[in-house]
């Protein structure tokens, strides 16, 4: 049961981190939060590779 809580906390942290990175770089933060939820910590390096101002308007 402890492992489940640990994985849940890790996934939640990934969502928050991806959302924050995307928002600070002007990308679609909702999309990146969803990618953080789906891929967990694996999405963070890709979020870091977003070019600033890459959101489509």
Determine the pLDDT at residue 51.
87
The answer to the question of residue 54 being in a domain is no
Kindly report the three-state secondary structure assignment for every residue of the chain.
Answer: CHHHHHHHHHHHHHHHHHHHHHHHCCCCHHHHHHHHHHHHHHHHHHHHCCCCCCCCC
Determine the pLDDT at residue 55.
57
Domain span at residue 22 reads 2-48
Number of domains in the chain: 1
The answer to the question of residue 38 being in a domain is yes
The answer to the question of residue 57 being in a domain is no
Determine the pLDDT at residue 47.
94
The answer to the question of residue 56 being in a domain is no
For residue 4, what pLDDT band results from cuts at 50, 70 and 90? very high
The answer to the question of residue 31 being in a domain is yes
The answer to the question of residue 37 being in a domain is yes
Q: pLDDT tens digit string along 22-56?
A: 999 999 999 999 999 999 999 999 999 988 875 55
Q: pLDDT tens digit string along 5-27?
A: 999 999 999 999 999 999 999 99
């Amino acid at each position: 049961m402890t492992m489940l809580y640990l994985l849940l906390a890790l996934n939640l942290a990934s969502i928050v981190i991806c959302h924050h990175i995307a928002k600070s770089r002007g990308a679609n933060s909702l999309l990146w939060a969803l990618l953080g939820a789906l891929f967990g910590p694996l999405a963070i390096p890709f979020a870091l590779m977003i070019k600033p101002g890459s959101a489509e308007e």
